[in-house]
Amino acid sequence: MTTPPKYSVIVPLFNKEPYVLRALASILKQTQPDFEVVVVDDGSTDGSALLVSKVVDGRVRLVQQANAGVSAARNRGIREARAPFIAFLDADDEWLPDFLATIDQLIDHYPDAGAYATACWFIKETGELRFAGNRKALGGRREGMVTNYFRGGNILWACTAVVRADVLARVGGFNERMSSSEDQQLWLRIASQSSFAYTNAAKTLYHVGVPGSLSKNQSPSGIDEMLKTCDTLLLAGLQSGRAVGIRLFLQISLRNAILASVSAHDLDHSRRLAELYASRYPASRWNGLLRRMIACPGLCRLYLSRKRLVGGWSYLRYTYLFPPVWNRSKGSRKAVSL
C-alpha cells in the first residue's frame, strides 16, 4: 500500500477550458512535491475534463460527477482525498511555486493550528494587481496564530487555505445550499473551535472577473445562510471572546451585504436586510445612514468609492511602480501546456 501524500489539492472544475491547465501547472510546479491533485469535474460541457485527462502525472486524478455546484464538487474531493492536509484551488486561480513550502513552514511553526493560509494577490484579466493581506488579524505582525478569526476580518479565500483533514471531518464540509460565501461559512465553523496560522506573504493568485466563476459571485441567499451559521454557533456556546467576536462579525457582514445590494440596485433585498439589521441592532448609528443610502443609492456608491480609491492605489503600486518579481515579465498567463 502506497504512503499517503502530505497534501491533497482539491480542484473543482466546471467549464474552465481556457484556465484549468494554468491552475494545474501552478500546482505541479510546487517546490514541495509531496501532494496529490483531485480534480472534480462537476458536469463540464466544454473540453475541460478532456484536457485534464491528458495530463501525464501520476499525482493527478480526475473524478467526474453530474453538475451539483462548487460546494458539492469540493466536498466530493474531500471524500476522495488521502492526505492529512486538504488544500483548495479553483480551476481559474494559481499558486506561486512556493505556496506549499510556505504552508510547510507554518505547520512546523504552529503545529496546533486547525488551518493554515497565506495572503494573496487579486489579479484582473488585464493583469492589474492588488495585494490582499491582513496584518490586523495578527496585531501588526507578518506571521502568526489568529486565535480569534471573528475579530480579525477576512484572512482566507479558498485558494489560500489548507485545512487539517481531521478538522474538516469534525465541522463538516462546504454548505451545498450556498452558491456564494460558502468558503467563508466554512472558515466560521472551523474558527468556532480552532485557530488559524497565517502569513502576510502572498503566495496565491486570485483571478477576479473570470466568466462563470460561480464561487466568486454574490447571491442573496449567501447572507441568509451566514446569519443562520452565526446564530447556530452562538447558541452552541463559544468561549466568551469568540462569542463577542462573532457578534461583531455578524453585524459587519449584514451591513456589508446591505451596501452590496444597494450598489447592485437590488433595493428590495436591501430593504429586507435593513429591516433585519434594525431589528437586531436597534441602537446602531448605521440604521439611519442605511435608510438614506437605500433611498439614494448614489450615497452608497460615494461611500464605497473610498475602498475603490485604496484599491486603485494598490493596483497602481503593484502593477506599475513596484511589481512583484513573478510578474515582471510581460505576457499572457493563459497559454499553458502540460
Question: Mind spelling out the 3-state secondary structure of 112-161?
Answer: CCCEEEEEEEEECCCCCEEEECCCHHHCCCCEEEECCHHHHCCCCCHHHE
The pLDDT of residue 129 is above 80: yes
Q: What is the pLDDT of residues 99-120, one digit of tens each?
A: 999 999 999 999 999 999 999 9
The pLDDT of residue 332 is above 70: no
Separation between Cα atoms, residue 72 and residue 70, nearest integer Å: 6
Other Cβ atoms closer than 10 A to 291: 14
- CB burial string 237-258: b at 16+ within 10 A, e below: ebeeebeebbbebbbebbbebb
Q: Could you say which architecture CATH assigns to the domain 7-217?
A: Alpha-Beta Complex (3.90)
pTM, two decimals, is 0.85
Are 122 and 312 contacting, i.e. CB atoms less than 8 angstroms apart?
no
Q: What is the pLDDT of residues 275-324, one digit of tens each?
A: 999 999 999 999 999 999 999 988 888 887 766 666 667 777 777 778 88
Question: Pick from 184, 157, 167: which is nearest to 257 by CA?
Answer: 184
Please enumerate in sequence order all residues whose Cβ is within 8 A of that of 50, keeping only pairs 6 or more positions apart, or say none.
none
200 grid coordinates: 502576510
What is the SS3 assignment for 30? coil
Domain boundaries, the chain: 7-217, 220-310
Percent of the chain with pLDDT strictly greater than 90? 50
Higher per-residue confidence, 291 vs 250: 291
Are 125 and 219 contacting, i.e. CB atoms less than 8 angstroms apart?
no
Q: What is the pLDDT of residues 26-48, one digit of tens each?
A: 999 999 999 999 999 999 999 99
